[in-house]
Structure 1
């Protein structure tokens, strides 16, 4: 099965699926499998895990329906399984109020683990926007991400893009909310 045969999206909807994607190690395994199918040994090498740990995490992802076996082959009497993502894109539900945003936590962890001397562009800007401008900016950011994702052949070096456009919680000053 090639990436062309994969469904476009997989919507995470169960607690088991959410627990599976909430783990940083499993997030990194899925990043490996987004590029191409891989065996447990290949995954372990690319993520820096022991084979047993890699196998455990892949089994949890498979049980949750997020990855699947796409081909097998016999090597010296042992069946080698190649795993791939179950869909091109995994869509998480919006975080419940008071719960962490899994995507942003993983993005920050990946940023912190990236080489300090590597090329990166990190910026935070505080804006004041009408509801209309807020929606417009969100749509433009989504379109830009989609455009560059479509221009991303697998042979090129990987780059990650994470953005969050949100209205922060009102800050309290001296016991009163500020606006």
Structure 2
């Protein structure tokens, strides 16, 4: 599972979440939203707080946790009226989350659903679901095409435009036999 972030030449391609501290950092919805702010361009604590509607102190707390976990870093500083202002950016172009394991929560999907529910109801949305019957080869091909399409549009992203989120999940649902067995 991968979270796409800003395309910057000097960033590593991927940051693999491997520790409990890193997993806790990305599992929080507020920190997920902070990383979304930083996905295209660096920002200060004040800018982050304004973008996500959070108090500056809370924003600072969450950014410090992300920084301690290695997910964000200071990329530049500047003096403003005698105070050093820090600009934070993502530590890599993408964040790779571990497989949640059987029965584990899928953090990225939970955040995506929360973001969808929080989006303006009167805004334009394209939400759908399709039940398919595919061969293993078709399943793999569709997964690759979805990844390629997301990458294509991520490369076209312009930081001056409003944020847009694309979420997709291609999976084999639990069979009715598995579901019945879990209920007993």
Q: Is the shorter-chain TM-score for this pair beyond 0.5, marking a shared fold?
A: yes
Does 2:49 align with 1:41?
Answer: no
Q: What 5-or-longer segments of structure 1 have no aligned partner?
A: none
Counterpart for residue 123 of structure 1:
128
C-alpha separation in 2, matches of 1:151 and 1:169: 36
Counterpart for residue 82 of structure 1:
87
Does 2:74 align with 1:69?
Answer: yes
Number of aligned residue pairs: 176
Q: What 5-or-longer segments of structure 2 have no aligned partner?
A: 1-6
Does 2:115 align with 1:110?
Answer: yes
Counterpart for residue 18 of structure 1:
23
Counterpart for residue 143 of structure 2:
138
Superposed CA RMSD in Å reads: 1.9
How far 1:14 moved relative to its partner?
A: 1.0
Counterpart for residue 165 of structure 1:
170
Which structure has the bigger radius of gyration? Answer: 1
How far 1:171 moved relative to its partner?
A: 1.2
C-alpha separation in 2, matches of 1:104 and 1:79: 37
**Highest RCO, 1 vs 2 (Cα 8 Å, sep ≥ 6):** 2
- CA separation of 1:176/1:154 partners in 2, compared to 1, >3 Å: closer, same or farther? closer
C-alpha separation in 1, matches of 2:167 and 2:181: 33
Q: 2:99 aligns with which of 75, 94, 100?
A: 94
